[in-house]
Structure 1
Amino acid sequence: MVKHACTKSDIAGASFSIHPMSDQFVEIIKGALEEADTTKVHMDTDDVTTTVRGKLIHVFDVTKAIFVHAAKTGKHVAFEATYSLGCPGDSKGEAYMAEDEIPLNAELVKDIKQPVAAKFSLYPLGGGNYMDVIYSQIEAMKQHVTVSHAHYATRLDGEAIAIFGGLEQVFKATVEGGSSHTVMTVSISANSPSHTGTDRDE
């Protein structure tokens, strides 16, 4: 049995898939990837997912930008992601980490209005008063988006920028609360016909 040693690392990662419900899905995905500035992260795309690694602030900045750029096309877009930080540390990825914490995409996307529905689940794997952190951060998120219960998750309704901001704060607070390995799963839907009860031309 192979044993993996825990190493201290500040590198975060996200593995995500984005699914535009459109015949132009290739153009939408490629366009979103090209519009997002990814120079402060390391990114690999294969036939299943795209993986982004780097400082937490840059990982959220890039994934938010890619989603918003895809969703602003008006097509129904689904986004699934798993964010992770902590033991076992991704020490090999340290070489890709930007020194600063200035997000490159924040100013470019902050004024894009995009209502979305989302669900997230948070998994603090290793100590800390994580339930107190989760509950307090969910309460804080209510100032910006609509929060409701869902099976095995928490539902969020509101603007994409506000929701990504809330998710980042929840994740960061959980890490700072003592979790040695924090994982978050996120599902986001934009421009779905079921949001308005009307059909869209896909």
Structure 2
Amino acid sequence: MKDQFVDIILGAVNQLNQVKLPVWSQTDLFSTTYRGRQENVVNVVKTACQLAYHDDVHTVFELTFSKGCPGDVDADRYLNEAIQPVIVSTELKNFHVDCKYSFYAFGDADYMQDIVHIVDLATQAGLKPQSMHYATALSGTVEDLFRYFDQALTYAHDHIRHYVIEATISVNSPSLED
């Protein structure tokens, strides 16, 4: 939350665009979409958050992870890429994050067992899940959070045909100082 938010956002996106990414990407007026193998997408999004991080800036990231939309076929070839690290010239920090997320399973009548399992994975990851209305709050490091997202998405991929995770990540919030 800073006057120079455009520079912060585009700076992170431009740094990512300067390296060979194992994902397809498209930036528009509202967001940047990354599509490809799950592990690569999670790693690219984590790197984007780390590149946008500044010690003294309150930053909020809005994320959507999804699988199973029948019309989503852009750049399918990236789904079979090998798992690759994102190598950038900037040192990436591991910082504290607070997150709220919601997991949605579509087309499955008995989805609550899957949601319970996914929240249990957050507990095992040390992210201290707290129930909220229609969401779960998590608290930990950016590395732990994205490792958890990868685990939750792997579970969902193996057990659910169509799902979406909506997440809001907050960093350096002045609300925590109260």
Tell me if both proteins adopt one fold, taking TM over 0.5 as the criterion: yes
Counterpart of 1:27?
Answer: 7
Summarize deviations over 1:160-190 as a string: whole Å, max 9, x none. Answer: 111121122112201211x211111011100
Counterpart of 2:112?
Answer: 131
CA RMSD for the aligned pairs? 2.3
Mapping of residues 1-202 of structure 1, within 5 Å: 21-36=1-16, 37=19, 39-88=21-70, 90-97=72-79, 99-104=81-86, 112-127=93-108, 130-143=111-124, 144-177=126-159, 179-197=160-178
Larger relative contact order (CA 8 Å, sep ≥ 6):
2
Structure 2, unmatched stretches of 5+, are none
Contact 2:22–2:84 (Cα < 8 Å) also in 1: no
Contact 1:118–1:157 (Cα < 8 Å) also in 2: yes
User: How much has 1:97 moved relative to structure 2?
Assistant: 3.9
Contact 1:71–1:191 (Cα < 8 Å) also in 2: no
Q: For 2:100 and 2:34, how far apart are their aligned partners in 1?
A: 21
Structure 1, unmatched stretches of 5+, are 1-20, 198-202
Summarize deviations over 1:37-57 as a string: whole Å, max 9, x none. Answer: 462111111111111111111
Q: 136-145 vs 79-88, which deviates more?
A: 136-145
User: How much has 1:105 moved relative to structure 2?
Assistant: 5.1
User: How much has 1:155 moved relative to structure 2?
Assistant: 0.5
> How many aligned residue pairs are there?
174
Q: For 1:113 and 1:146, how far apart are their aligned partners in 2?
A: 18
| Identity of matched residues, % | 33
- Residues 100, 83 of structure 1: CA spacing in aligned structure 2 closer, same or farther, 3 A cutoff? same
Summarize deviations over 1:71-123 as a string: whole Å, max 9, x none. Answer: 234311111122111141523421344521233259x87x7221111011111
